[in-house]
Structure 1
Amino acid sequence: MQTIENQFLRVSINPLGAELVSLFNKENNAEYMWNADPAFWGKSSPVLFPIIGALKNNQYCYQGKTYTLPRHGFARERVFSVETQSELSITLLQKEDEATLKVFPFAFEFRLIYTLNEKTLSVSYSVKNTGNNEMYFSVGGHPAFAVPLSDDTVYEDYYLEFNQTEDFPRWELADGGLIKNEATTFLENTNRLPLTKELFYQDALVFKHQKSTAIVLKSDKVSSQLTFTFENFPFLGIWAAPNANFVCLEPWCGIADSENHTQELTEKEGIEVLASDQIFLRTWSVSL
């Protein structure tokens, strides 16, 4: 594990997948990340790259060739190298190699940058196209935050408070994790989503083009809360494994294939296009 810390927070990152595994608050001796209990879900904050969600038949087409990728891509299962590190920041790097080129025909430098500033952890995704042609990709986060935040509360005491009033249609997932072609009514004229275990029995909540750029995880029974900020991410997933004590807040630049998708990578909804030698950068942060 790699560690960065200041007087308020201690953060641990696993080079396998550049995964955030611990966000520890020194002031109240509390861990804010899910403990990756494999009985429910053995991850804590996987990195989603170069796709998000599922592909139709786990395949996509690009320039007349067919490629296969598992759900959420390959970055979360590969070891990143530590490029730079200081007391308050660490940068982890992954580049293309023979294995990635077989399933994703682009040259790239993908960096995860973790930075502490007082009681805030910022997580940045930096993607550089080191090839000669345009690069098509998706990238996003999947951090799982522990709920409840204190021993004297329960899961149902908590809710998510958005920083904008939303009318959220929900894009449900079909078999195989594909996005259904029609949305269903979900949140209407509200900025609050109460948390219940039953909320996630039908898989993730998926939203498109939300107005909000921040969500507070909170309870009216305790003072501890967590503010999650995510600007310039056009898609949002909210998820928990059945009956598990966590909630994932997932900012995405990209989304799973729809049921009627053509499987052409260049026609994929939300796909990012990056010119040669250009850098794409997005950041989310969590404040305690």
Structure 2
Amino acid sequence: MRYTLENEFLTVQAESLGAELVSVVDKATGAEMLWHGDPKVWPRQAPILFPYCGKLRGGRYTLDGAEYQCPQHGIARDYEHEFLGVFGSEMRFCLRSSADTLERFPREFELTSSFGLCGRTLRHTLTVKNTGEKELRFGIGYHPGFALPFDGAHTTQDYELRFDTPQAPAVIETGAGEDAGLVTGETRLLMEKSAVIPLEDRMFDSDSICMGALSAKTLSIVEKDSGRAVRVGIEGYPYVLIWSMPGDPALQFICVEPWHSLPDRVDAAGDWNEKPCAAALAPGGEWHTDLNMTFDR
């Protein structure tokens, strides 16, 4: 079921399935600024990645002496999240571990997702609480897709990705074939001290670009002639990915994905407790992260 939050600038909708952001409309123009989720291209729009980001080697891991099969990007996006209500300028959802989730991830947790509006900025806060008696190790990340172009008068080449300060991103390389999407341990320099990543059709035919070693506070999708932009806060995230559907002849959307963890390495043994994580919570422990998206359209 969809739920709505709005202020004088934006109307936002989120779906209880996955607590997924599904619409951000500019009230002045009526423009939909989020990818619309065409199932023929990419059926999702802004999934929450939890309790891990990306792929597991072989699609499985071991924990407490048992093996578990799990899909890419974790399980939170596949479950109904309870709608907790609207509290002033914020609406909240919650996913609690259940008998079903424990069959895929044997840890008890509470994942709260809060959407808040302040002017043209939408803040999505994720809070993880360990409600069990064992340590809760997890990865987590965001995956919002933003519609391109902003209108029918522009094409891909009229846009660029722009950091707020010059950067020299280290691209974290991934494998090919059976190892596609798995981290190799190698890196390469994406660019030398520049604030701009030009956008081109087919630039993601080899899949996402995962960047580390960033010091920027924001990464924006900017329409060069008008200055209209969607600005994503990336400060404090160790990894930021950019992605669109490989093989699509023109960019219909672009995802800017701040992550707190990475996919498995190509040589990963599959032991959950050896995976790098966003946090390792003791029983009763709590952790949160925020994603700010500002729509200067």
State the TM bucket, normalised to the shorter chain. over 0.9
Q: Report if aligned partners of 2:210, 2:240 keep a CA contact under 8 Å in 1.
A: yes
Shift of 1:182: 1.2
d(CA) in 2 for partners of 1:12, 1:238: 23
- Quick one: which amino acid aligns to residue 266 of structure 2? E
Shift of 1:283: 0.2
Shift of 1:24: 0.5
Show the counterpart of 1:190: 194
Q: Please, what TM-score do these two structures have when normalized by structure 1?
A: 0.96
Q: Give the SS at the match of 1:70.
A: coil
Show the counterpart of 2:269: 262
The 5 Å alignment of 1:48-197 reads: 48-86=49-87, 88-174=89-175, 175-197=179-201
d(CA) in 1 for partners of 2:184, 2:261: 15
Unaligned residue ranges in structure 1 (runs of 5+) = none
Does residue 221 (structure 1) correspond to residue 217 (structure 2)? The answer is no
- Quick one: which amino acid aligns to residue 186 of structure 1? L
d(CA) in 2 for partners of 1:157, 1:173: 29
Q: Give the SS at the match of 1:210.
A: coil
Does residue 201 (structure 1) correspond to residue 205 (structure 2)? The answer is yes
- Quick one: which amino acid aligns to residue 25 of structure 2? F
d(CA) in 2 for partners of 1:241, 1:161: 20
- Quick one: which amino acid aligns to residue 53 of structure 2? I
Show the counterpart of 2:260: 253
Show the counterpart of 1:235: 239
Q: Report Cα offsets for 1:179-221 as digits up to 9, x if no partner.
A: 1231233222111101112210100001224212211210221
Aligned length: 288
Change (3 A) 1:116 1:271: closer
d(CA) in 2 for partners of 1:120, 1:99: 35
Show the counterpart of 1:280: 287
Change (3 A) 1:261 1:271: farther
Shift of 1:271: 4.3
Does residue 25 (structure 1) correspond to residue 26 (structure 2)? The answer is yes
d(CA) in 2 for partners of 1:281, 1:254: 14
Show the counterpart of 2:9: 8
- Identical aligned residues as a percent: 30
d(CA) in 2 for partners of 1:264, 1:110: 23
Unaligned residue ranges in structure 2 (runs of 5+) = none
Q: Give the SS at the match of 2:267.
A: coil
Shift of 1:165: 1.9
d(CA) in 2 for partners of 1:87, 1:206: 36
d(CA) in 2 for partners of 1:79, 1:117: 27
- Quick one: which amino acid aligns to residue 45 of structure 1? A
Shift of 1:88: 2.2
Q: Please, what TM-score do these two structures have when normalized by structure 2?
A: 0.93
d(CA) in 1 for partners of 2:22, 2:112: 17
- Quick one: which amino acid aligns to residue 205 of structure 1? I
- Quick one: which amino acid aligns to residue 225 of structure 1? A
d(CA) in 2 for partners of 1:206, 1:246: 17
Shift of 1:87: 5.3
d(CA) in 2 for partners of 1:177, 1:252: 15
Shift of 1:166: 1.6
